[in-house]
Structure 1
C-alpha cells in the first residue's frame, strides 16, 4: 500500500498536467499546491521506516526524484553577490492596510529600482506617493495598481484585463516604459482576479480569462525586454498562468512563498521577465498586508 501511494505521488508530480481541469478545475487546484506533495513523501518515508518495508523505500525514490527535478533547483543557494542589473519589489499592499506609511518605508528600504503595488486605494495612494517620492521620483498609477521607479517612465497606459463577467468598473493593469541605464524596458503591473476553493471545485475562470488577456498584451509588446510584476493569484506551476509562463522566464532560485502572510502556502505574487532572467527571488519582512512583499534580481540579456 505504501509503495502504491509512493507511485501515485510520483505520478501526480511528474504528470500533473494530465490531471483534467474539466471537473472543478482539479488540475489547477493540484498545481497551486504542488510543492507540498513533498510533505506526502516525508510522511510515506516515516511510515516505510516504521514498517521496515524495503519495497516502499525503493518506490519512494520515484516521488523524491520527481520532486527534486521540479523544485530542487529553487532550494539551491542563489549568488548573493553575483552580477545583476536591476532589483525589483512586488507587493499587494492590501486595501485594508492600516499602516501605508510604514509599508512604504519598509519597501523603500529594500533599495530596489522598481516597486510595484496592488490594491492601492484612496486615501492610501497619497500616503504612498508622499512616502516614496524622495527615493522614487517617478511613478505611474492606473486604477488600483502602480509602479514607483528610480528611472524615468514614459508611455504609461492602462491594460484592459477585465473578464467579461465583471460589470462594475475594474482597472488592475498598466504598462509603462522604464528608461534604465541599460536601455528601455517595458514594465507591466497586474492584479489578476482572486480564486476560491469551493464545494464545486477551484473557481479560477475569471483569473484564467484575465491571464489570457495579459498574455496577449505581453505577446504584442514591441520592446524586446519585458518585466511583469503582480499579484497573479496563481503559482507558476498553475496551468491557468500558461499564457504568461509560456512567454516569460520565472525565478531560478527561491521559493518566496508570499500568501497568506501569517502562514505562507504559495507564491501568488510573481516577477517574470522576457529577454531577461529572474536570477533570485526572496520574501521581505511582513508589512500591514495579508501578502508578504517579494524582491527579485533581474539580469538583462
Structure 2
C-alpha cells in the first residue's frame, strides 16, 4: 500500500475526505523532502553549521538572483558567481532568518571562518566561490536537485499542479545552481518554522525524524485517523539515534525536552509523537503556508528549466 493517497481523477472535485488526505499527504511529503535535503546538505558535518552556511549563502546570492542576466551567467551547473558579486550578510540577519539565538550563530560563524568555510569582514559573512565550486559542494547541489525531482513527481501524483510553461521557454539545459537557490529558500523557511515550534534546532530535527520514522510504515489515511492521539508508531531511542547519526545520549536529552513541550510521550516499545491540542491550529496554519511556498518553489524551478527536465 502506498504511503500517499491517489489524487482524484482530473476534473473531479475531491470529496472532503479526499481533500483532507491530500492536504496532509502534501505536508508529509514536504517534511520527508526537507529531512532528506537537510541531510544531503549536512553531509559528514554538523547540522547547525550546514544551516548557517546555507542561510548566509542564500543572502549572499540575493544580487545575483535578482538580476536575470546574472542568473543566466551563474545559475548553470558550471560557473559560480565570483566573490565580488556576493553581498555580505550580518551574523544577526543569519540568526534571525533561522530563528536562532544571535550568540549561538556568532560562535559557530567564527569557527566556520577559522575553518575557511566562510569569510567574516566588516560588512558581514560571505560564503566564498572556493566553497561553492568544491567537489563536495557540487555533488551536494546535484544530490539536492535529484531529490527535488523525486519530490516534484510525488507532488504531481498528489494532484499539485505544475506551473504552466513560460511563454519564452525554459533554458536549453536545467540551471542546477538556480534550482538550488530556490530549493535553499524553501528548506530554510521550513527549518525556521520547525525551530519556532520547539525553540531548539536539534530538538526540531529529533521531532522531525521521530515523526517521519514513526509514520513510515503507515498510509496517510491511518495517520489522519489517529491524529487526535498520536502520530505514527513508537520508535526506540537507539533506532532514532542511528537514523539521526547522533549520540544516543544527545537524542535522549532532546526527547526529554520534547516530552516537556508535549510533543512526544514514552510507551513500552519506544517514543511516539503526540500533538498538543493547543498546537494543532498552528500546525494546520504551517501546512497551509507550505502549500503557498510550494507554488512559489515550483514556479522558480520551472523558470530554471528543472520541471521540463524532470518531465522529460
What is the TM-score with the length of structure 2 in the denominator? 0.23
Q: Which has the bigger relative contact order, CA under 8 A and spacing at least 6? A: 2
Higher normalized helix content (fraction of residues): 2
Normalising by structure 1, we get a TM-score of: 0.24
